[in-house]
Amino acid sequence: MTDETKGLVLAGVGGQGVILAGMIVADAMVRAGHDIKQSEVHGMAQRGGSVFSHIRWGPGVDSPLVPRASAEVLAAFEWAEAIRWVDYVREGGAVVVDLRTIVPPGACDDRRNWTTAYPGIDPELFLDRQLKTRLIDASSTASELGNIRAANSVILGTVAAFCGIDDSHWEAAIESLVPRGTEEINLAAFRAGREVADAQAPAATPSPEGFAGPHQIDINHSWCKDCDICSRVCPEYCLAIDNNGKLGIVDSDACTGCRLCELLCPDFAISIRPPMAEAVTTNG
């Protein structure tokens, strides 16, 4: 292993095209003259399980596995996967996250454990790490182009900005590996993703439309009966009943947007709004 060896982690859930994307990355790297090693884990696709692929490239690569805190780029096809794998990115590296959320059955349907542990989208997580973050909506972009299955090519377009090889290698790899007849749409998807990378590049903070800052907790005190359920279920202790028996927000910055308080408020008195929800509306 030499210092020139770089790593990429692709992570998503079954059915998103993670494995194909990994093959395209590897093919593009070979076309660019690199030695590459690739490893992947899959097999839980039917259950929405996690699927990931590690790729390492450079003049001479020995091991296929990307060590922690070393990856140049993490391409997360799904929000929770971004959180799962973000530790693998080196300081100053890049995280490309599709804002899609796919809640695996185990997280919301496990009736024995009342699991609602799906994390809220919280870009703060990456801000702290000095990462170059690109938040994209690949599914919508691909849908607009005519085929949601090209979402992985959108993600690759954004990823390409951080891999240091010429776009022509990427496009050649895509043309050779995607299913016959979908070459054009996948190339268009790739270019759309590439534009996202550039458009978001100047941003000092990861703030694409609608996703910046903590969630906002709104309490409608005229409906609230101060029953204390919300404060008892909040995992982040954002809410509390004060000495006068009235509900208040004690830590507004800690809200991760899990919405437990909102869903368990019998009086419809709590609303959780995503960060900069207004921006979403105006841009929507």
Partner 1 sequence: MTDIKTYLREWAMPHVLCPGCAHGIVLRSFLEAVDQLQLEQDKVAMVAGIGCSSRLAGYADFCTLHGTHGRAPAFATGLKLARPELDVVVVTGDGDGLAIGGNHLIHAARRNIDITVMLLNNSIYGMTGGQAAPTTPQGAVASTTPSGNTEASFDACALLQGAGASFVARVLAANPIEMTKVMADAITHPGFSFIEVVSDCPEYFGRYNKAGGGAEMLVSLTSRDVAVAGPLAAKRFVNHVPSSEPPPGMDTGVLQREVRPIFSGIRGGDTDES
Residues in the chain: 284
48 neighbors 105 (Cβ within 8 angstroms): yes
Does residue 266 interact with partner 1 by CB under 8 A?
yes
Among 125, 165, 172, 264, binds partner 1 (CB under 8 A): 264
Nearer Cβ to partner 1 (69/108): 108
Q: How many CA atoms lie within 13 A of 127 on its CB side?
A: 13
Quick note: the x/- pattern for partner 1 over 102-131, rule CB under 8 A, is ------xx-xx-x-x---------------
Among 4, 101, 201, 268, binds partner 1 (CB under 8 A): 268
Nearer Cβ to partner 1 (107/165): 107
The whole-angstrom separation of Cα 38 and Cα 212 is 34
Nearer Cβ to partner 1 (43/223): 223
142 neighbors 10 (Cβ within 8 angstroms): no
Lookup: tokens for 144: 């607009």
Min separation Cβ 105 and partner 1, Å:
10
Phi, psi for 219 (deg, rounded to 5): -110, 125
Nearer Cβ to partner 1 (30/240): 240
Does residue 148 interact with partner 1 by CB under 8 A?
no
**Look-up: residue for tokens 């170059």?**
132
Nearer Cβ to partner 1 (109/128): 109
Q: Which among 31-39, 69-77, 131-139, 266-274 is the span making contact with partner 1, rule CB under 8 A?
A: 266-274
| 229-258 positions binding partner 1, by CB under 8 A | 229, 231-233
**What torsion do the CA atoms of 57, 166, 78, 278 make, to the nearest 10 degrees?**
140
Nearer Cβ to partner 1 (30/279): 279
Min separation Cβ 65 and partner 1, Å:
36
Nearer Cβ to partner 1 (176/281): 281
**Look-up: residue for tokens 């458009």?**
199
Quick note: the x/- pattern for partner 1 over 54-93, rule CB under 8 A, is ----------------------------------------
Min separation Cβ 232 and partner 1, Å:
4
215 neighbors 257 (Cβ within 8 angstroms): yes
Q: What pairing do the DSSP bridges indicate for beta strands 132-136 and 50-58?
A: unpaired
Alpha carbon distances (Å) from 45 to 18, 138, 179, 196: 11, 19, 19, 28
| 174-233 positions binding partner 1, by CB under 8 A | 222-223, 225-229, 231-233
Nearer Cβ to partner 1 (13/229): 229
Interacting residues toward partner 1 by CB under 8 A: 108-109, 111-112, 114, 116, 222-223, 225-229, 231-233, 263-269
